[in-house]
């Protein structure tokens, strides 16, 4: 089973960025843990701070991979383009967020991803990614 985790802007700073919200661990370290926890999956990882690169990656994998775990970060709340890309592809997308976006500023309550996601996992720290991967196990 081929699954990709796609992270959006500023998530390359995990471990350094607002640790009281996002924790102390880098995503690269956490990705190693995920790979050892889900050996039955072929796991890939992509991060970009650029909206168009995220859309191109979604299009590239969206007709051949079995799943996308997407944390579009701030673009979640602004990007009609990423929302349209998810609508356009065949691969199911699980939207994840590290923090509970609903307990934060009101601009974080809107998502252009959710309407076309298969499911949404919010607020469990990095474990949100783990829970999303579990959802692909039949
Ligand atoms: C986030 C929540 C977003 O509102 C924020 O812009 C992020 C990270 C999260 O994982 O909690 O960059 O997607």
Give the domain CATH number at 12: 3.40.50.9100
- Which residues fall within 8 angstroms of residue 106, CB to CB, at 6 or more apart? none
Flag whether pLDDT at 99 surpasses 80: yes
On whether the CB atoms of residues 95 and 67 are closer than 8 A, the answer is no
Q: How far apart are CA 56 and CA 40, in angstroms?
A: 27
Closest C-alpha residue for ligand 1 atom 2: 73
Q: pLDDT (tens digit, 9 = 90+) per residue, 23-56?
A: 999 999 999 999 999 999 999 999 999 999 999 9
Q: pLDDT (tens digit, 9 = 90+) per residue, 40-49?
A: 999 999 999 9
Query: Domain count of the chain?
Result: 1
Task: Exactly one of 30, 65, 75, 97 is catalytic; name it.
Answer: 97
Active site (annotated) includes residue 65: no
The domain in which residue 115 lies consists of: 2-135
On whether the CB atoms of residues 54 and 9 are closer than 8 A, the answer is no
Assessment of whether the complete model's pTM goes beyond 0.85: yes
Gyration radius of the chain's alpha carbons: 14
Cβ neighbour number for residue 35 with a 10 Å cutoff: 13
Active site (annotated) includes residue 77: no
């Amino acid at each position: 089973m081929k699954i990709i985790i796609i992270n959006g802007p500023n998530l390359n700073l995990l471990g350094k960025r607002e640790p009281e919200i996002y924790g102390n661990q880098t995503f690269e370290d956490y990705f190693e843990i995920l790979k050892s926890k889900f050996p039955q999956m072929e796991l890939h990882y992509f991060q970009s701070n650029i909206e168009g690169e995220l859309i191109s990656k979604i299009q590239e994998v969206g007709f051949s991979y079995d799943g996308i775990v997407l944390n579009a970060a701030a673009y979640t709340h602004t990007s009609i383009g990423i929302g349209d890309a998810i609508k356009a592809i065949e691969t199911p997308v699980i939207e994840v967020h590290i923090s509970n976006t609903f307990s934060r500023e009101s601009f974080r309550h809107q998502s252009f991803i959710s309407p076309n996601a298969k499911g949404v996992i919010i607020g469990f720290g990095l474990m949100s990614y783990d829970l999303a991967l579990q959802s692909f196990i039949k």
